[in-house]
Amino acid sequence: MNKQVSLGRVGLVLALSIGFEIFILTRLVSLQLFQYSKFQTRVSQQSKTRVKVTPVRGRIYDRFMRILATSLPDPSSASGGDGQAGIKSKRVYPLNDLAGNLLGFVGRDGSGLEGIEYEFDYLLSGNSGWTDLGKTPSGKLYPYPGYSRVSAQSAQDIVLTIDADIQAIAEESLKKRVNSMRASSGSVVILNPGTGEILAMVTIPCINPGNWAQSKRTLNGLPTILCKNRALQVQFEPGSTFKIIPISAIVENELVVFSDTVEDGTGEVTIEGKTIHDLHPHGPLTFTEAVWKSSNVAFVYLANLIGRKRFYEAARAFGFGVSTGITLPGEARGSLSSPDNWSDLEFANLAFGQGMSCNLLQLALAYSVIANGGILLEPIIIKEILSNKGKVIYTAKPIKVRKVLSEDKAKKIKELLCGVINEGTGILAKIPGLDIAGKTGTSQKYIPARRTSSLSAPLRQAKRDGADKAGGYGDIYTVTFVGFFSIGPSTNEQILIACLIDEPKVLHLGGQVCGPMFKEIAQKTIRLNPYRTQMDTEIKG
Amino acid sequence: MKKTDKGILLITLILVGIGLIMVYSSSAFSSLRVMNTSTFFFKKQLIPLGIGVVLCFTVSKIDYRIWGKYSYLILGITILLLFWVLLFSQSVHGTKRWIRFSNSSLKWISFQPAEFAKLGVIIFIANFISRQTDGPLRRSFSEASGQANHSASGGLYTQYVSRRINFVKFRGLYLSIALAIVFLLIALEPSFGVLFAICVTCLIILFLGNFRITWLLLIFAGVFGAGFLLINHSPYAKLRMANFFSHEGYQLRQSIYGIGAGGLFGAGLGNGKAKLFFLPEPHTDFIFSIIGEELGFIGCAIVSVLFLILLIRGIKIGIRQQADKFGFLLAVGISFIIFVSAGIHIGVTCGILPITGIPLPFISFGGSNLLSNLIGIGILLNISRQRQRTEDR
């Protein structure tokens, strides 16, 4: 029989096939076992990318949980990919410019640049996470279900001690007053002197933090620095409101009896060839009257009675010359030089609050000492911090810095200050039926001799107008008014309002410029529900 | 007693199973994006699979000799369909490979004549060669010329020689022309991958059919020359050859990355990255790359060794059937067309052969390929049964 099939040929073809198979397997071993890590990296690099996921920024609330700042998704800024992870959020301030200079603002990248947004950025921004996104050959990103991700820890929320209503009232009144006085700026601090909680912190001119880049850069036709929180970041010479220091030193050390005559009626005193006089001539003044009428001459005598060292210590004890400890950026802590360096004239000037400086919050806290029975408190701006699940993880408690005065001495001073409003320079702030203790202040501004670019327009004008005044005090004023009143029986039920208007041109006395504004703010505030309920019914109107 | 070769059946089932899983894994993402459902290709593959299983079973019941009897008809139909696809089909990506029926009742039914041409050509050659009882040029071919058996007497030597020349002149020419037509039609589609697989398989069948080596070398040179000319005249193929030799082809690079990234155990089913936009058509011409990435070296080795085992078993069936040369050549031809196709596909995806689109038998998405391969297995199973019958006698 003829052999039809050559097994040799079959064997040869089979051997070739097995050879090819081995070739393939060798190739696979080379690719998959020896070059594995190279290809692995390459594939994951080309097909996958890690994208940072920033959490939605935390909210800022006022003390009654009204939203001052929040973040909303901003579809207009979606960055690449099929969407989802690329969406950024936009910072939104529902009450527009309310408390703008306190809240600050965020930059393009969403990080805080000023104010609360800056100081508490680490809480508000939260912990960012990441997600792996698929990448197409052309670089387009898309979500892929199998890829890992670490979700962003959403940020913490901050509850401020601010009361948006009071803030709004104060902003409205201050804006009106700054405009009508043609002043260059103004600020108001309202706090609870019993706890140190700040209820309002107002600056005019102010920014709209949601649109800060486009905020107006002029006020009353003058260019101005916008984003400063003037109640904190600007220092000034307080003038007569600083008399709280000599008053306290006198009362604490019982250096005079209130009815003692402290000024014989000359109305002027000359020190180092420079004559200091009171605004209006008046007869002989008792200590009480000197306080009510805010006689500079009388306080020059009183300062001498106190002595430099005690004067300086009292000022320090009230917190002048040191930071208040507030958790806000850029505090201007003011200056108070050491008593050894004071000339007689400088010491005399200090008696009525010239030649030193402070910020408005320091001044407010110094008056809080009188209001709360002698304790210097640290100011509080953060009431609570909420976790991302809404749990309260921090609650502020009043922080006592030191006991400055005994309670009864503080009470005596308070009575003295009530007279300022009822009988003295603060009469324009008087509200019938409400006991307000307060003090006015009018200080001349120092016109520097050297050329400085940071001068305000009126100062520059003054420098041009009277060359003789350069290097001394001119007719440009900073006016202040600090007052407080009770809205209930306890120490914690008080409201303290400190006002400052800088460089007013229509009027220039503290009582005249700030008094009516103080009254307006106080009246509107005590009509608000949370404060009204604590009030005596008859004062409501 | 009839007994089918269970081994072949088992390997086929394993490969088809792997195929279904890999078609789903490699197409789920893109089909979710494009069709809104991850199972579009998976479901679409189930229909030809069902038909294929039925056909495989049916064909395994049909005596394989019937294919030899009708081999001319089969080749004729094949050539007609190949003409049809060139003349009447719409081109897809610049190629005309599919005959589509798209009236309302036969929506989306399409098939590739080239895939069926594989079987047609194998049947034709196997039948053709087997018609010469012995080696084609050494012995007479009385059966084929219709003469009755005659004893080999020296007196008939002249007659024998003249018949041999006759064969060379007419039958050899006939075979060459028939094959040339089929090859040319496939090359015109173009479908070089399938053409390549058919050519290699034909050469193997001729070789195992005891063709003279010199003849084979001639044919081989002819095919090689034709191939060279084709590549030179088809910009499409030229580019791919250039890509292969410079190793810069995007698809090739992505395919190799994918396989390499699989490592020993692979990234796990569904975790491959290459199929995500990087490899075009991952569920068809590059499915082995996905297997490499997701199932690793182990998966690749199992799949490629399964094809080798299938080949060995197929050859074994053939050898046992060597009493019938048609049966032997048919079994060997079917085994090799599957093995060679798989070898080309794997070789292309791991960068040892120039890129040419060819599906991985049983595994790649595509109905025609699956159907023709399952029919081939059906024939193979029938041959294995016949073997039993022969031995029983």
Q: Which residues of B touch A20 (CB under 8 A)?
A: 343
Residues of chain B above pLDDT 90, percent = 31
Q: Would the CB atoms of A28 and B301 count as touching at under 8 Å?
A: yes
pLDDT at A106: 87
As a whole number of angstroms, the distance between CA A182 and CA B144 comes to 122
Asked whether A142 and A134 are in contact (CB, 8 A), the reply is yes
Confidence category of residue A324, pLDDT binned at 50, 70, 90:
very high
**Rounded mean pLDDT, B179-192:** 84
Residue A393 has pLDDT above 70, yes or no: yes
Q: Which of A396, A327, A393, A397 is nearest to A156 (CA)?
A: A393
Answer whether residue B1 is part of any domain.
no
As a whole number of angstroms, the distance between CA A423 and CA A285 comes to 14
Answer whether residue B15 is part of any domain.
yes
Element (H, E) at A480: strand A472-486
* Closest CA in chain B for residue A40: B261
Residues of A with CB under 8 A from a CB of B: 2, 4-7, 9-10, 13-14, 17-18, 20-21, 23-25, 27-29, 31-33, 35-36, 38-40, 42-44, 46-48, 134, 136-137, 144, 146
Range picked from A132-136, A251-255, A266-270, B161-165 for highest mean pLDDT: A251-255
pLDDT at B135: 43
Backbone angles phi, psi at B188, to 5 degrees: -75, -20
- CB-nearest to B319 from A10, A17, A25 is A10
Residue B291 has pLDDT above 70, yes or no: yes
Q: Which residues of A touch B274 (CB under 8 A)?
A: 43, 47
Confidence category of residue A464, pLDDT binned at 50, 70, 90:
low
Confidence category of residue B162, pLDDT binned at 50, 70, 90:
low
Helix (H, G, I), strand (E, B) or coil at A222: strand
Answer whether residue B170 is part of any domain.
yes
Write the CATH number for A288. 3.40.710.10
pLDDT at A67: 94
Answer whether residue A515 is part of any domain.
yes
pLDDT at A247: 94
Answer whether residue B28 is part of any domain.
yes
**Rounded mean pLDDT, B209-228:** 78
- CB-nearest to B262 from A32, A44, A144 is A32
Answer whether residue A130 is part of any domain.
no
Buried/exposed B96-112: b ≥16 CB within 10 Å, e otherwise: bbbbeeeeeeeeeeebb
> Of the given ranges (A102-111, A375-384, A530-539, B170-179), which has the lowest mean pLDDT?
A530-539
Q: Which of A84, A199, A218 is nearest to A149 (CA)?
A: A84
pLDDT at A540: 44
Tokens representing B246?
């410079």
Answer whether residue A361 is part of any domain.
yes
**Rounded mean pLDDT, A149-175:** 90
* Closest CA in chain A for residue B134: A4
Q: Would the CB atoms of A33 and B263 count as touching at under 8 Å?
A: yes
First to last CA, chain B: 10
Helix, strand, coil share of chain A (percent; to 5): 40, 25, 35
> A39-56: per-residue pLDDT in tens?
888 888 888 888 887 788
Confidence category of residue A85, pLDDT binned at 50, 70, 90:
very low
Tokens representing B260?
């390499």
pTM for the model stands at 0.65
First to last CA, chain A: 132
Q: Would the CB atoms of B260 and A36 count as touching at under 8 Å?
A: yes
The letter for the amino acid at B167 is: F
pLDDT at A465: 66
Tokens representing A243?
């008399």
Instruction: Supply the range of the domain harboring residue A275.
Output: 164-383+400-539
pLDDT at A224: 63
The secondary structure of A228-283 as a DSSP string is --HHHH--B--GGGGGHHHHHHHHHHT-S-TTSEEE-S--EEEETTEEEE-SS---
Answer whether residue A134 is part of any domain.
no
Residues β-bridged to residue A90: A72
Looking at per-residue pLDDT, the higher value among B383 and A154 belongs to: B383
pLDDT at B294: 92
Asked whether A244 and A342 are in contact (CB, 8 A), the reply is no
As a whole number of angstroms, the distance between CA A37 and CA A45 comes to 12
- CA B238, B244, B247, B248 torsion: positive or negative? positive
Bridge pairing between strands A494-502 and A472-486:
antiparallel
CA B291-B297-B303 angle, to 5 degrees, is 55
Q: How far is CA A220 from CA A216, A226, A357, in A?
A: 11, 13, 26
Residue A288 has pLDDT above 50, yes or no: yes
As a whole number of angstroms, the distance between CA A540 and CA A493 comes to 15
> Chain-wide mean pLDDT for chain A?
86
Helices assigned H by DSSP within B89-171: 113-130, 142-145, 157-166
Answer whether residue B297 is part of any domain.
yes
Helix, strand, coil share of chain B (percent; to 5): 70, 0, 25
Q: Is A321 left (phi over 0), alpha (psi -120 to 50) or beta?
A: left
> A415-451: per-residue pLDDT in tens?
999 999 998 899 999 998 899 999 999 999 888 776 6
Give, to the nearest 10 degrees, the angle between helix B40-61 and helix B367-392.
Answer: 20
CA A53-A56-A57 angle, to 5 degrees, is 120
Total of domains in chain B = 1
Instruction: Measure in Å the smallest separation between the Cα of A16 and chain B Cα atoms.
Output: 11
Q: Would the CB atoms of A9 and B139 count as touching at under 8 Å?
A: no
Answer whether residue B23 is part of any domain.
yes
**Rounded mean pLDDT, A190-214:** 88
Confidence category of residue B119, pLDDT binned at 50, 70, 90:
very high
Burial of A255 (0-12, 13-18, 19+ CB in 10 A): middle
Instruction: Supply the range of the domain harboring residue B50.
Output: 6-146+154-392
Range picked from B31-40, B89-98, B103-112 for highest mean pLDDT: B31-40
- How many Cβ atoms sit within 10 Å of the Cβ of residue B335? 27
Q: Which residues of B touch A5 (CB under 8 A)?
A: 208, 210, 319, 322, 325, 328
Answer whether residue A97 is part of any domain.
no
- How many Cβ atoms sit within 10 Å of the Cβ of residue B231? 18
Q: Which of A145, A38, A53, A84 is nearest to B276 (CA)?
A: A145
pLDDT at B124: 92
HSE value, Cβ hemisphere, 13 Å, CA-based, for B172:
16
pLDDT at A1: 33
Instruction: Measure in Å the smallest separation between the Cα of A40 and chain B Cα atoms.
Output: 4
Confidence category of residue B281, pLDDT binned at 50, 70, 90:
confident
Burial of A262 (0-12, 13-18, 19+ CB in 10 A): buried
Backbone angles phi, psi at B36, to 5 degrees: 65, 10
Answer whether residue B238 is part of any domain.
yes
Total of domains in chain A = 1
Give, to the nearest 10 degrees, the angle between helix A244-253 and helix A407-422.
Answer: 130
Residues β-bridged to residue A394: A385
Asked whether A55 and A125 are in contact (CB, 8 A), the reply is yes
Answer whether residue A266 is part of any domain.
yes
Backbone angles phi, psi at A134, to 5 degrees: -70, 150
Q: How far is CA A515 from CA A439, A441, A499, in A?
A: 10, 10, 9
Residue A468 has pLDDT above 60, yes or no: no
Bridge pairing between strands A157-160 and A60-61:
parallel
- CB-nearest to A31 from B273, B315, B350 is B350
Residue B392 has pLDDT above 60, yes or no: no
HSE value, Cβ hemisphere, 13 Å, CA-based, for A448:
8
**Rounded mean pLDDT, A205-233:** 75
Confidence category of residue B28, pLDDT binned at 50, 70, 90:
confident
